[in-house]
């Protein structure tokens, strides 16, 4: 497995772990938000900053450019179709953000719970498809040097998102939560 694929696969692992932990929080909190409000808010922040902006950005902006420049994929391709699923996932995440109650004494509304269930299914399916189709293709098509260049661009992209004020602790907060949950 090349270094760029390994980079994306590690991101997926972290996203899977965060989804697994969120399910656990849900099962324990039921629909009543009190005591779990901060944990759920932190998870939504991780999904927005790390999953949507950092990880999807690496595939959406950097990888897609490489694929198109090399003439490997064009707009009508299945490969680009997988990457385009990010738009559906983003729309679902927006519904989650919009329906999350600000007041911890409120119950979680059905729209929030429905969007969350939808998000779990969409993201899991999407990442499994990438691992089955997209990642092996990257390994086949890109040389070691190209994968190194891709991986460097991935790191730079992630750094540029995580150094924005308010985002600095998103990844470490989630790692701590996952550690505590295990
Ligand atoms: Fe993706
Ligand atoms: Fe991905």
Q: How far is residue 151's CA from residue 3's CA, in Å, rounded to a whole number?
A: 6
Measure 81 CA to ligand 2 centroid, in angstroms: 13
Q: How far is residue 88's CA from residue 152's CA, in Å, rounded to a whole number?
A: 28
Measure 121 CA to ligand 2 centroid, in angstroms: 14
The CATH number that applies at residue 149 is 1.20.120.520
Residue ranges, the chain, pLDDT below 70: 29-35, 70-77
Ligand nearest to the CA of 126: 1
Give CA angle at 165 (159, 169), nearest 5°: 65
Q: What is the pLDDT of residue 132?
A: 93
Residue 77: which of 141, 12, 6, 148 has the closest Cα? 141
- Secondary structure element (H or E) that encloses residue 87, with its range: helix 78-99
Please provide the distance, in angstroms rounded to a whole number, between the alpha carbons at the two ends of the chain: 28
Q: What is the pLDDT of residue 81?
A: 80
Q: What is the pLDDT of residue 76?
A: 59
Domain range for 73 is 3-181
Q: What is the pLDDT of residue 160?
A: 96
Measure 135 CA to ligand 1 centroid, in angstroms: 11
Measure 107 CA to ligand 2 centroid, in angstroms: 32
Q: What is the pLDDT of residue 32?
A: 62
Q: What is the pLDDT of residue 77?
A: 65
Q: How many domains does the chain have?
A: 1
Q: What is the pLDDT of residue 36?
A: 78
Contact 109, 99 (CB under 8 A): yes
């Amino acid at each position: 497995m090349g270094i760029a694929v390994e980079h994306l696969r590690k991101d997926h692992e972290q996203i899977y772990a965060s989804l697994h932990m969120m399910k656990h929080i849900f099962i324990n909190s039921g629909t009543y938000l009190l005591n779990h409000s901060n944990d759920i808010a932190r998870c939504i922040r991780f999904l927005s900053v790390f999953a949507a902006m950092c990880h999807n950005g690496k595939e959406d902006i950097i990888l897609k450019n490489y694929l198109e420049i090399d003439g490997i994929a064009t707009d009508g391709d299945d490969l680009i179709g997988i990457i385009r699923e990010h738009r559906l996932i983003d729309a679902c995440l927006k519904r989650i953000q919009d329906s999350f109650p600000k007041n911890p004494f409120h119950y979680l509304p059905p729209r929030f719970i429905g969007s969350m269930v939808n998000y779990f299914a969409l993201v899991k399916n999407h990442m499994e498809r990438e691992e089955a189709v997209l990642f092996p293709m990257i390994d086949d098509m890109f040389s070691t040097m190209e994968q190194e260049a891709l991986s460097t661009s991935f790191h730079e992209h992630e750094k540029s998102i995580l150094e924005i004020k308010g985002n600095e602790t998103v990844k470490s907060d989630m790692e701590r939560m996952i550690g505590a949950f295990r």
